[in-house]
Amino acid sequence: MQTEAGTLSVARCGGVTLAIAEETYRLTRDALHTLLFYGQSVPLVRRRESVHPGGVIVAETVIDGYVSVHLSGRVVLVETRAGQFAVPFGCFQQVARGEVISAPLVPVAQGDAGGVL
């Protein structure tokens, strides 16, 4: 059985969580608002904690990609180091509103000219 490339799900404190290639990313409510209402791309961020000598824990926010709405308005595209993924716009909205718990992310094939098929 083939596993999903990634999952989009509801976060506990509002917003959504994206699980892609063993990494977990979070989009805040503000990022969702910017993406869905203004159509602007938003950064895809994750928190990374590291322990320095002396037991000091340092938390960093790392930008690993971005999320944008396709020009057609039908698909939300997720760009990461692991590749490009897509989810239908309607499914993304339902997860963002909390109407459904999760939705699968589908890998996107690249065309010969580098465009999205």
The pLDDT of residue 111 is: 59
Angle at the Cα of 33 from the Cα atoms of 30 and 39, rounded to 5 degrees: 130
The answer to whether the beta carbons of residues 42 and 66 sit under 8 Å apart is yes
Q: Report d(CA 38, CA 23) in Å as an integer.
A: 27
The pLDDT of residue 3 is: 61
Q: Report d(CA 97, CA 82) in Å as an integer.
A: 27
Domain regions of the chain by residue span: 6-107
Give tens-digit pLDDT for 1-11.
346 688 999 98
Q: How far is CA 34 from the centre of its chain?
A: 14
Q: What residues does 92 pair with on adjacent strands?
A: none
The residue type of 83 is G
Give tens-digit pLDDT for 45-80.
888 777 878 888 888 888 889 999 999 889 999 998
**Residue 105 CA neighbour count, 13 Å, CB half:** 24
Residue located via tokens 């790392």:
62
